Amino acid sequence: MIIRYSILLAILLAGGLPNKACAEQDLRELVVQLTDQVKALQSQIAKSNARIDDLEQKLIRSTAEQQLSATDAATTQPQPDRIPVMQSAANGNTKAAVSAGDIKGALKIPGTATSIGFGGYVKLDTLFSSSSVGNDKLGNQRLEVAEIPVGTTPAGESDQISMHAKESRFWIKALTPSQWGDMTTYLEFDLFGDSAAYTYTPRLRHAYGSLGNLLAGQTWSTFLNSQAIADTLDNSNSVGSLLTLRQPQIRWTQPFSFDGLAMEWQLAAEAPRSRVWDARNQTMTTLSASHYPDLVARLNLNPDWGNISLAAMGRQLLIRPTELNVEKTVWGGAVNLAGKINTFGSDNIRFMLGYGDAFGRYAVNNFFADGTVNGSGEFDTLVGYSSMLAYQYWWDKAWRSTVAYGFAGADQPGFAGNANHQAQSVHANLLWSPFLQTTIGLEYIYANRELVNGQNGELQRVQLSTRFNF
Amino acid sequence: MSNLMNRIVPAILVVNFICSCSASLSQDEFKDSRTSDRPALHAIQDQELRELMDRMNGLMLERFMTEHEMDVVRGKYTRQIIATAITLQNTAGHLVNKIPHLNLTTDEENAFRGLADKLSQYATLLKTQAEHDAFNAIPATLHEMKSTCAACHTLFRQF
């Protein structure tokens, strides 16, 4: 008997020991009980909220009654002068409340269909440079590869520190729906209008309007894909980023889709300008007159995973040698492939590849000519090429980094001894945005510049920047 | 006394055996879903929505695009959010169809159905918010969706 009950007891214990299945059953029951309690709490909260709403309504009615009583008391007093009193809200004439606009960050102008918004940011750049590029030069405030000292000629003190807030920016935008499509206007300014270190002159960046698919005014060249510009602290961005060129233009944009893929083509006529290196007097001439605008065509692909563009440009270069009183022209062109491709999460790759024989002023700011005149007075185009590759990595929602490499070169003729042959740059940064309206970051910049005659120079820089949006 | 013990102990054993079996049955019902490594469709769509919102927020950090260019890209992300929200609505609806195959109790069925309906409602709300450009409200909706997913996973699926 004892043995039998011992065996039974052992079986009982084996079945009754706290096993995983029983514990799980208990957990399920506990969760169901908690769920019931949460439902009861939710019901109680709903009743409390209803009571609060009721009390608020009573308070509003009470306040309104008090205001009316005060107004009645004032109007019954004898008025010393018969001065006409304008209608006011206290007498019951309410004015239309301002409502949100049809675009982000905008308000609708009361009584109109126009939405208007403004904003901008304040940015401070602190630059620790390995060498100065000269007194009151833009190259001390942002990367200007054309100003990097070459050879042994010093341009200023070494180990320079400079601080400025010139990238601070203000913009204003508006949108009005119409039967012809949305009419938009946009103005944007910064303070880079003067190269002197502590002179802040407003500079127009963008000034354009658009109606439906037609745009007219000054904005990014259609040749440039602004989505592909790397996220650097440096205002000039990487070599190979196509100069971040803005110029007056007329542009037509036509969306369409192909096999379910959203696309658009763009055609633009843009302000012409010819930069020509004349070997006879070793000077660079920039002429804004021409018989034809710069013509640009671009195809954009807008898949879910990013944005790709292919642009082609045709332009006429023109010079007017004063001693001959004749003008010379030559046609040239360029192509640019650029884009932004999403990789993992918010990470992305940005790239630009450009090539052409009239690429000069589009490639790097004041670095290459568009064409050259040799000792015999022959005018020809200059083949140039550039590339930029950047990867943006998000450590988490607040921290991000970009590493960008850029290169630009030109097949300079042998007689252009002092002309720029090539340049390259590296940007690497760590940026912190504790919330979306603020960015604080540190960036390392390396750049070098090489002339046709073999002279070269390099620049190293650490930039600390703060940016506060409004 | 021995007769009483002869009756009680087997009864206890039977009851204990039944409890163990029912618990292990419950464990087996969800075994496949628990041990599967393939993420559920609604989890994929939830992840897509979060990435889209992160990319949309990232536009505010851009310095070189004009506001109108950003509005155009914002519109593209909005269309993607709407499309994903519609897909999530359909996926949440399909979750309810799985109930007959899960051998749940009545209370568990009601809880599962309630949570699936809630997920569908939040997906509908998300779609409406995106259509009306109420971007500031979208993170709160995504947070509520995440809480709904966590509650359902706690009750019915162990991760």
Domain ranges in chain A are 115-469
CA dihedral A114, A100, A307, A431 (to 10 degrees): 130
**For residue A9, pLDDT beyond 50:** yes
Which among A252, A250, A245 is positioned nearest to A212, based on CA atoms? A252
Question: For position A412, what pLDDT does the model report?
Answer: 87
Confidence of residue B12 (pLDDT cuts 50, 70, 90): low
pTM of the predicted protein model: 0.75
The structure tokens listed for A355 are: 């090539």
State CA B43 to chain mean position distance: 7
Least Cα separation, residue B93 to chain A (angstroms): 22
Chain B's closest residue to A218, CA to CA, is B66
The structure tokens listed for A325 are: 């009183």
Q: Which positions in chain A touch B63 (Cβ < 8 Å)?
A: 121, 231, 467
Q: Residue A93 carries which DSSP code?
A: -
Interface mutation vs chain B, best among A7, A35, A241, A341, most B CBs within 10 Å: A35
| Average of per-residue pLDDT values in chain A | 85
Question: For position A377, what pLDDT does the model report?
Answer: 84
B1 touches chain A (CB under 8 A): no
**For residue A392, pLDDT beyond 90:** yes
Interface mutation vs chain A, best among B71, B110, B135, B154, most A CBs within 10 Å: B71
Q: What is the DSSP string of A400-464?
A: EEEEEEEEEEE---TT-TTSEEEEEEEEEEEEE-SSTTEEEEEEEEEEEEEETTS-EEEEEEEEE
Higher pLDDT, B114 or B22: B114
Confidence of residue A21 (pLDDT cuts 50, 70, 90): low
A69-74: average pLDDT: 52
Which among B74, B58, B69, B57 is positioned nearest to A171, based on CA atoms? B69
A226 touches chain B (CB under 8 A): yes
Alpha carbon distance B48, A346 (integer Å):
11
B116-126: average pLDDT: 88
Could you list the beta-strand ranges (E) of A9-157.
Answer: 99-100, 107-108, 115-131
**For residue B30, pLDDT beyond 50:** no
> Are B68 and A184 in contact (CB < 8 Å)?
yes
Chain A's closest residue to B28, CA to CA, is A21
Q: Are strands A306-319 and A294-301 parallel, antiparallel or unpaired?
A: antiparallel
> Are B68 and A346 in contact (CB < 8 Å)?
no
> Are B58 and A346 in contact (CB < 8 Å)?
yes
| CB contact set of B114 (below 8 Å; sequence gap of 6+) | none
CB atoms within 10 A of CB A349: 15
| Average of per-residue pLDDT values in chain B | 75
Of A443-452, B35-44, B55-64, B106-115, the poorest mean pLDDT is in B35-44
A6-14: average pLDDT: 53
> Are A12 and B13 in contact (CB < 8 Å)?
yes
Chain A's closest residue to B6, CA to CA, is A5
B74-96: average pLDDT: 86
Q: Which residue has the tokens 């009306």?
A: B132
A241-262: average pLDDT: 90
Least Cα separation, residue A453 to chain B (angstroms): 35
A345 touches chain B (CB under 8 A): yes
Which of B27, B54, B71 comes nearest A24 by C-beta? B27
> Are B61 and A436 in contact (CB < 8 Å)?
yes
| CB contact set of A23 (below 8 Å; sequence gap of 6+) | none
Maximum pairwise Cα distance, chain A: 131
Interface mutation vs chain B, best among A218, A346, A352, A436, most B CBs within 10 Å: A346
pLDDT digits (tens, 9 = 90+) for A307-344: 999 999 999 999 887 666 678 899 999 999 999 999 99
Higher pLDDT, A153 or A104: A104
Question: For position A20, what pLDDT does the model report?
Answer: 55
Helix axes B41-59, B138-156, angle to 10 degrees: 160
B106 touches chain A (CB under 8 A): no
Q: Say if CB A310 and CB A324 are below 8 A apart.
A: no
How buried is residue A300: exposed, middle or buried, by Cβ count under 10 Å (0-12/13-18/19+)? buried
B34 touches chain A (CB under 8 A): no
**For residue A386, pLDDT beyond 60:** yes
Alpha carbon distance B91, B82 (integer Å):
14
Domain B39-156 falls in which CATH fold?
Four Helix Bundle (Hemerythrin (Met), subunit A) (1.20.120)
Of A129-138, A155-164, A302-311, B21-30, the poorest mean pLDDT is in B21-30
pLDDT digits (tens, 9 = 90+) for A187-245: 999 999 999 988 999 999 999 999 999 999 999 999 999 999 999 999 999 998 887 68
Interface mutation vs chain A, best among B4, B13, B67, most A CBs within 10 Å: B67
> Are A227 and B65 in contact (CB < 8 Å)?
yes
The SS3 of residue A259 is: coil
Question: For position A79, what pLDDT does the model report?
Answer: 42
Question: For position A58, what pLDDT does the model report?
Answer: 77
Alpha carbon distance B103, B26 (integer Å):
9
| CB contact set of A250 (below 8 Å; sequence gap of 6+) | A214, A215, A216, A268, A269
Chain A's closest residue to B61, CA to CA, is A436
Of A176-180, A188-192, B52-56, the poorest mean pLDDT is in B52-56
Chain B's closest residue to A225, CA to CA, is B65
The structure tokens listed for A459 are: 């620049």
Least Cα separation, residue A64 to chain B (angstroms): 32
Interface mutation vs chain B, best among A103, A192, A245, A400, most B CBs within 10 Å: A103
> Are A104 and B71 in contact (CB < 8 Å)?
yes
Q: Say if CB A191 and CB A167 are below 8 A apart.
A: yes
- CATH class, domain A115-469, is mainly beta
pLDDT digits (tens, 9 = 90+) for A76-89: 444 443 333 344 44
Q: Which residue has the tokens 């009851």?
A: B15
Question: For position A119, what pLDDT does the model report?
Answer: 93
Alpha carbon distance A400, A348 (integer Å):
11
> Are B69 and A227 in contact (CB < 8 Å)?
yes
Q: Which positions in chain A touch B24 (Cβ < 8 Å)?
A: 21
**For residue A433, pLDDT beyond 50:** yes
**For residue A170, pLDDT beyond 90:** yes
Confidence of residue A42 (pLDDT cuts 50, 70, 90): confident
